[in-house]
């Protein structure tokens, strides 16, 4: 639309002003507040035993959840894009459920299955208020990402090359590794980046099942809340700044992968 | 898995059969079993108990406020999202690609950090003297933060694809900017705006992390359903929590079905 200059400047100012007030200035302020007492204070705050334990728990949980959901995501995307079966709309709806359900309800759901008096409450190891519960919650919330990124790519590339490969004698395994996977790799990568961000940042579901035992079942996001509730504002800002840096890294990865994804 | 894959050769085996089997098992174990537990166990105390919890004054107030604030958030998003998408597609200014990348920040940033950042600027320690902490406005702001990308990312591609010739034709026939926007551009964007808005609504209804530090959880005022459910779990009443969750999930489900319907509707009306 060839809007005259005055209007264009007005709209631009409103849009950028909205983004500045909602996103940029608050996040900038948290970084400022974090570092206003110097870098060493921040370093001390993110290297306390509780913080280091929270950091490694977050990384461990992510390293379990993301690979599992990546394998599931690729298989499920293959089924959705290549398979012909009834109930495809139902499968599609189920995959989107974790996006539509409150993280608190997800945590509650796990408590009702694995908690005291739950359907599977008598397992030989503890799930709720322990690491397995955190892992299950994290897997739940990050289920859809890889599927949702890979399925459209598979639809787009079609299966002609795969059929050609199998006509030439390749078995399904070879076809997958040599033809399908190279074609979808940037879609998979994008899905993995989104999953990692979600796994590291998950709060609600994890906060229900973790029990928040400092140094044992406390993830980074839970550490932020604990420090805030204990009036350790500087500590909460420091842990937040660490998480925000991870988020900015995620954004950077997204902008690097996006153009390649479009080229496929 | 290798042997299983090998035996499913393409000419004989159906494509995707193995993937479908594993996917179904995984989803059943990870997603469906826990959700079934919420639905089934919500009536563990009997239907009367279910009904009492759901219709208690506090849960009705929480559910109602959740719906109202989510709807307000959705409407604001529909307008601001369309506007920002328009500026990102049709306007030219320095640093646009950075602004465009920043739009996804709410997806990448943990929700608890989102709440804390808003509290830093608009809370008791605000450097500009604005303090909205523990008010309904604070809840709305948190929701606007976390749902920011939905409408923008849904409208942007449609706006890029939009045929400029139609607009130029309308302009050359003497239509003003307003008319062109309302009669040419907007009708083409409506399906995308609606589907983005529906996603934002579904997200807002269940939002928890960004709200917990900001809302103060004041019953009948700033208490949203998700935080109310959380408090029920904390006070060892998981069955009551499940009952409220079922109502909340019913709302989410209706929205999800709505999204699919909108998608189909949009596809039918696609130029």
Point out the residues of chain A with pLDDT beneath 70: 1-3, 262-264
Residue ranges of B 189-228 with Cβ closer than 8 A to chain A? 199, 202-203, 205-209, 212-213, 225-227
Residue B10 — very low, low, confident or very high, per pLDDT cuts 50/70/90?
very low
Residues A63 and A114 in one domain: yes
Q: Taking CB atoms and an 8 Å cutoff, what residues of chain A touch B19?
A: 74-79, 83
Q: Does any CB of chain B come closer than 8 Å to the CB of residue A186?
A: no
Tell me the C-alpha distance between A74 and B112, whole Å: 30
* Long-range contacts from B32-37, C-beta under 8 angstroms, 24+ separation: B32/A94, B33/A113, B33/A119, B34/A106, B34/A109, B34/A110, B34/A112, B34/A113, B34/A140, B35/A97, B35/A101, B35/A109, B35/B249, B37/A109, B37/A112, B37/A113, B37/A118, B37/A119
Q: Across the interface, do A99 and B202 touch by the CB < 8 Å criterion?
A: yes
Any idea what DSSP says for residue B50? H
Query: Domain boundaries in chain B?
Result: 47-268
Percent of chain A scoring above 70 in pLDDT: 98
Q: How many CB atoms lie within 10 A of CB B90?
A: 18
| Phi, psi (degrees; rounded to nearest 5) at A47 | -120, 15
Gyration radius from chain A CA atoms: 22
Name the residue with higher pLDDT: B187 or B158: B158
Nearest to B145 among A22, A203, A255 (CB): A22
| Phi, psi (degrees; rounded to nearest 5) at A102 | -60, 135
Give the per-residue pLDDT at A166: 86
String of b and e for A21-44 (b: at least 16 CB within 10 Å)? ebbebbbebbbebbeeeeeeebee
Q: What is the ipTM of this complex?
A: 0.92
Residues A4 and A23 in one domain: yes
Tell me the C-alpha distance between A42 and A39, whole Å: 5
Distances in Å between the alpha carbon of B224 and those of A140, A199, B54, B244? 23, 24, 14, 11
Residues A21 and A144 in one domain: no
Residues A83 and A71 in one domain: yes
Q: Across the interface, do B260 and A93 touch by the CB < 8 Å criterion?
A: yes
SS3 B104: coil
Chain A contact probe: residue of B120, B214, B217 with most A CBs at under 10 A: B120
Tell me the C-alpha distance between B231 and B209, whole Å: 14
Residues A106 and A228 in one domain: yes
Q: Dump pLDDT digits (tens) for B106-129.
A: 999 999 999 999 999 999 988 888
Q: Taking CB atoms and an 8 Å cutoff, what residues of chain B touch A164?
A: none
The answer to whether B2 and A171 have CB atoms below 8 angstroms apart is: no
Give the per-residue pLDDT at B15: 53
Give the domain range for residue A4. Answer: 1-36
Residue closest to B52 by CA, chosen among B264, B202, B244 = B244
| B194–chain A nearest CA distance, Å | 16
Q: Taking CB atoms and an 8 Å cutoff, what residues of chain A touch B213?
A: 225, 228
Nearest to A83 among B16, B103, B256 (CB): B16
Give the per-residue pLDDT at A117: 86
Residues A126 and A19 in one domain: no
Tell me the C-alpha distance between B159 and B90, whole Å: 8
Nearest to B101 among A27, A236, A251 (CB): A251
In this structure, chain B runs to a length of 271
Residue B169 — very low, low, confident or very high, per pLDDT cuts 50/70/90?
confident
| B241–chain A nearest CA distance, Å | 8
Q: Does any CB of chain A come closer than 8 Å to the CB of residue B105?
A: yes
Residues A88 and A7 in one domain: no
Tell me the C-alpha distance between B176 and B189, whole Å: 19
Q: Across the interface, do A108 and B180 touch by the CB < 8 Å criterion?
A: no
Residue B266 — very low, low, confident or very high, per pLDDT cuts 50/70/90?
low
Tokens of B224: 């949203």
Q: Across the interface, do B208 and A203 touch by the CB < 8 Å criterion?
A: yes
Give the per-residue pLDDT at A111: 95
Q: Dump pLDDT digits (tens) for B53-87.
A: 999 999 999 999 999 999 899 999 999 999 999 99
Helix, strand, coil tally for chain A in percent (to 5): 80, 0, 20
Q: Taking CB atoms and an 8 Å cutoff, what residues of chain A touch B93?
A: 12
Residues A186 and A255 in one domain: yes
Residues A80 and A169 in one domain: yes
Position B138 pLDDT exceeds 80? yes
Q: CATH number of the domain at B47-268, please?
A: 1.10.3720.10
Q: Could you give the dihedral angle defined by the CA atoms of residues B10, B14, B15 and B16, in that order, rounded to the nearest 10 degrees?
A: -140
Q: Across the interface, do A104 and B229 touch by the CB < 8 Å criterion?
A: yes
Give the per-residue pLDDT at A264: 56
How many domains is chain A partitioned into structurally? 2
Q: Does any CB of chain B come closer than 8 Å to the CB of residue A225?
A: yes
Residues A11 and A96 in one domain: no
Q: Across the interface, do A26 and B117 touch by the CB < 8 Å criterion?
A: yes
Residues A199 and A97 in one domain: yes
Nearest to A101 among B109, B167, B249 (CB): B249
In this structure, chain A runs to a length of 264
Give the per-residue pLDDT at A191: 95
Residues A94 and A109 in one domain: yes
Residue closest to A118 by CA, chosen among B242, B104, B107 = B242
Tokens of A179: 């033809």
Q: Does any CB of chain A come closer than 8 Å to the CB of residue B108?
A: yes
Q: Does any CB of chain B come closer than 8 Å to the CB of residue A132?
A: no
Provide the terminal-to-terminal Cα distance of chain A, rounded to the nearest Å: 31
Q: Does any CB of chain A come closer than 8 Å to the CB of residue B82?
A: no
Angle (nearest 5°) at CA B62 between B248 and B147: 65
Residue ranges of A 40-79 with Cβ closer than 8 A to chain B? 72, 74-79
Q: Could you give the dihedral angle defined by the CA atoms of residues A71, A73, A78 and A79, in that order, rounded to the nearest 10 degrees?
A: 110
């Amino acid at each position: 639309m060839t809007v005259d200059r005055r209007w264009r400047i007005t709209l631009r100012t409103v849009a950028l002003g909205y983004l500045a007030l909602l996103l940029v200035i608050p996040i900038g302020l948290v970084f400022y507040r974090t570092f206003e007492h110097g870098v060493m204070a921040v370093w001390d705050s993110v290297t306390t035993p509780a913080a280091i334990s929270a950091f490694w728990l977050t990384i461990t949980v992510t390293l379990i959840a993301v690979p599992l959901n990546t394998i599931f995501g690729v298989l499920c995307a293959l089924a959705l894009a290549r398979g012909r079966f009834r109930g495809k709309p139902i499968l599609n709806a189920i995959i989107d459920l974790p996006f539509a359900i409150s993280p608190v309800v997800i945590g509650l759901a796990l408590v009702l299955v694995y908690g005291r008096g739950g359907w599977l409450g008598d397992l030989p190891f503890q799930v709720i208020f322990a690491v397995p519960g955190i892992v299950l919650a994290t897997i739940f919330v990050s289920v859809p990402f890889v599927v949702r990124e890979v399925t459209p790519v598979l639809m787009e590339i079609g299966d002609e090359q795969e059929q050609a490969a199998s006509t030439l004698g390749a078995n399904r395994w070879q076809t997958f590794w040599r033809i399908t996977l190279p074609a979808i790799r940037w879609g998979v990568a994008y899905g993995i980046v989104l999953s990692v961000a979600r796994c590291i940042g998950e709060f609600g579901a994890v906060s229900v099942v973790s029990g928040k035992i400092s140094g044992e079942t406390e993830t980074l996001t839970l550490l932020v809340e604990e420090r805030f509730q204990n009036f350790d504002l500087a500590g909460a800002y420091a842990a937040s700044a660490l998480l925000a840096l991870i988020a900015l890294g995620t954004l950077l990865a997204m902008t690097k992968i996006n153009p390649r994804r479009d080229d496929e | 898995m290798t042997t299983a894959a090998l035996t499913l050769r393409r000419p004989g085996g159906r494509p995707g059969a193995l993937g479908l089997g594993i996917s179904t098992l995984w989803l059943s174990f990870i997603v469906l079993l826990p959700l079934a537990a919420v639905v089934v166990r919500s009536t563990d105390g009997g239907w009367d108990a279910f009904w009492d919890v759901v219709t208690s004054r506090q849960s009705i107030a929480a559910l109602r406020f959740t719906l109202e604030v989510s709807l307000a958030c959705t409407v604001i998003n529909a307008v601001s999202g369309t506007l920002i998408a328009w500026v990102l597609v049709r306007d030219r200014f320095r640093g646009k690609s950075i602004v465009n990348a920043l739009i996804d920040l709410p997806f990448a940033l943990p929700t608890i950090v989102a709440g804390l950042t808003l509290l830093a600027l608009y809370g008791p320690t605000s450097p500009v003297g604005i303090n909205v902490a523990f008010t309904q406005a604070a809840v709305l702001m948190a929701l606007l933060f976390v749902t920011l990308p939905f409408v923008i990312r849904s409208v942007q591609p449609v706006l890029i694809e939009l045929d400029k010739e139609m607009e130029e034709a309308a302009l050359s026939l003497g239509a003003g900017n307003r008319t062109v926007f309302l009669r040419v551009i907007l009708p083409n964007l409506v399906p995308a705006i609606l589907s983005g808005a529906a996603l934002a609504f579904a997200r807002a209804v269940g939002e928890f992390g960004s709200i917990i530090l900001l809302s103060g959880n004041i019953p009948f005022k700033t208490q949203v359903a998700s935080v109310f459910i959380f408090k029920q779990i904390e006070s060892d009443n998981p069955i009551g929590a499940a009952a409220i969750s079922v109502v909340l999930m019913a709302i989410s489900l209706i929205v999800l079905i709505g999204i699919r319907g909108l998608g189909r509707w949009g596809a039918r009306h696609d130029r």
